Structure 1
Amino acid sequence: MSHTLNKVAVVGAGLVGSGWAIVFARGGATVRLYDASEAIRARAMDRLASMLADMQEAGLVEDAAPILARITLCHSLEEAVATADYIQESVLERVEVKREACGQIAAAMREDAIVGSSSSGIPASAFTEDLPKRARFLIAHPVNPPHLVPLVELVPAPWTDASIIPVLRAAMEDWGQAPIEVKGEIEGFILNRLQGALLNEAWALYEAGLASAADIDRTVSEGLGLRWAFMGPFETIDLNAPGGIADYSARLAPLYHRVAESRRDPQPWSAKAIEQAEAERRSLLPQDQLQARGDWRNRRLMALVAHLRTQPR
């Protein structure tokens, strides 16, 4: 690796933390993994072995064994973070939980270590303001599962040392991730604001009775999502008109403006619509099959990632 972040700690060994541990170890770093829950720690290495075995079967890693060997399970937070160059905090998405965990990390970490939080939408300023080493903290938000979906949003707090962002961005690239920099704090960052816009429209269409949840899902999985698997919205519209993005905008910007105007009074997702969607989804996928379907999703992601790696960009 060309960067200097070769010793990594992951605090939180749930789904996201486990995925992060694989990302770093797969990229060649030595990883020390910790979780405050004894029950989670007890099964962490078995979970990692299973995840890596699936990746090896899908052709995403050549040999799972050396990757797993680079991950060490720790039984205290201090043991995990004390010598780390980089620390990935992946605890529960609640301000008070993150504030407590980051306080413990700040007390045990090196002065020059960098700490990224896996927060999905809570800005770092909400839980790092009072930390003595707050300049070393920022958001490093992955997409779940991070070992299969490479995007990482790097979001500094107002007091984050600006010099650490290019260092971490380069390291993430070397670890096989696809980092982006969000140039200011905004709730939801980039990914969840884009996802939220689609979700809010999906709920509005569903509540209006214009389509079933299954058909709205199909519109994305069999339509929009096929293009979005390898290009974003700006490139999509640039290729969807003979004259490129300016031509597309001349043709369709008024339509999109009218659509936006029609949602000038957005409403919360209603309890009734949520109940109906829950009933529809459970008729298609019983509660006790959610985990198995999640595993199926991950296998599909592995196959897609493996395919995309063979294609020119």
Structure 2
Amino acid sequence: MAETKKVAIIGSGFVGRSWAMIFASKGYSVCIYDIAESQLTSALNDIGNQLKALEKSGMIRGNLKAEQQVGLIKATQSFEEAIRGAFYIQECVPEVQSIKADVFNRVAEIFDDDAIIASSTSYMVPSLFTKDMRKGRDRALVAHPVNPPYYAPLIEIVPAPWTAPSAVQKVRDLMREVGQAPVTLAKETMGFSLNRIQVAIIMECWRQVESGLLSLEDVDTVMWGGLGMRYAFLGPLEVAHLNAEGKYFIPSRNPALSVVGMKAYLRTYGEAMLKAADDLGPVPHESYKEGTPTANDICRQLEELVPLDQLQARRAWRDKRVAALAKLKKDLDQSD
């Protein structure tokens, strides 16, 4: 753990609260900043309730009790008070470039000479809001979590062109220490990694519904009942590596196919996969917009599936299951 144990969280919304809980689980002193006292009060109450519920269910992270973790989390309306003495600052403000730039510029005037600041942005490359920092921009980057961050461990680390490699490594080490699963992009890329993969999936799902190939409900079933079952434990490339292992590749039966793993997958399915890729169709520029017939139909089906007044309840349903999956994976890893 770093010599200075204070972490600052800028913004007390859902993501900020999740970060506070993650860092407190490992014994860090956390200071949350927001401009509204009511927002901070709500955040602290919510965090306390969440941690107590997690402790009761046996899903709290770390070795500290809920009461101890709650005691590590403070709140302030003073920007300077939050930043001073923090070795790591996590920005969690709205996805507006000017707001993020203002936060980073203000932090540059205050933060310690060895402190690092990271943004939680899900799509903005860091050079957009760090370019005008008066100092310390070599210690500024993106550390993008996945919702819900407390249960989904992935963190996408994205450096700006001027971010020091040492800062990237420190953040990567910190994320591992607090129980997250960091990946580091070699350069700034629109959409980072997760969203680029997600976009490819959503665009194909959109095309399948628009063309009438499958209903919306069936398309979603393909993911949660098929791909998602495997992808919860393995990535798509490792899935392919494992799937080509079988009786058809036993050398004694067919020497011509005496390869296994990804080589066998490429040999057996490569041409068919490329043909399917060629057949995917263009990006649906015209229909993937609010108000188009396809968009209206998809929105209608989704609102029938989950009425708008039930969205919050459905989110809670989702988070409960993601939490249970996280616990299952942890238990399985410990038993292996």
TM range (shorter): over 0.9
Deviations 1:215-249 (A, max 9, x none): 11111111100111111011100000021011111
Structure 2 unaligned spans of 5+: 246-259
Matched position secondary structure for 1:141: strand
Q: Does 1:251 align with 2:268?
A: yes
Q: Does 1:167 align with 2:170?
A: yes
Classify 1:5/1:254 alpha carbon distance in 2 versus 1 (closer, same or farther; 3 Å): farther
Partner in structure 2 of residue 267 of structure 1: 284
Q: Does 1:153 align with 2:168?
A: no
TM-score (norm. length: structure 2):
0.89
Q: Does 1:58 align with 2:57?
A: yes
Partner in structure 2 of residue 309 of structure 1: 330
Q: How does 1:111-130 map to 2 (within 5 A)?
A: 111-130=113-132
Deviations 1:122-173 (A, max 9, x none): 1000110111221110010000111111110111000001111111111111
Q: What is the distance in 1 between the residues matched to 2:317 and 2:68?
A: 25
**Higher relative contact order structure (alpha carbons within 8 Å, sequence separation ≥ 6):** 1
Partner in structure 2 of residue 139 of structure 1: 142
Q: Find the partner of 1:90 among 89, 92, 111.
A: 92
% identical aligned pairs: 37
Q: How does 1:1-313 map to 2 (within 5 A)?
A: 1=1, 3-4=2-3, 6-61=5-60, 63-132=65-134, 133-242=136-245, 243-263=260-280, 265-268=282-285, 269-270=288-289, 271-312=292-333
Q: Which moved more, 1:184-193 or 1:4-13?
A: 4-13
Which letter does structure 2 place at the counterpart of 1:152? I
User: RMSD of the alignment, in Å?
Assistant: 1.5
Matched position secondary structure for 2:165: coil
CA contact (8 A) 1:5 1:171 kept: no
Question: Which consecutive aligned stretches of 4+ in structure 1 deviate over 6 angstroms post-superposition?
Answer: none
Deviations 1:256-298 (A, max 9, x none): 2222222453122143222212111111211111111111111
Which letter does structure 1 place at the counterpart of 2:226? G
Structure 1 unaligned spans of 5+: none
Q: What is the distance in 2 between the residues matched to 1:211 and 1:187?
A: 30
TM-score (norm. length: structure 1):
0.95
What is the count of residue pairs matched by the alignment?
Answer: 312
Matched position secondary structure for 1:310: helix
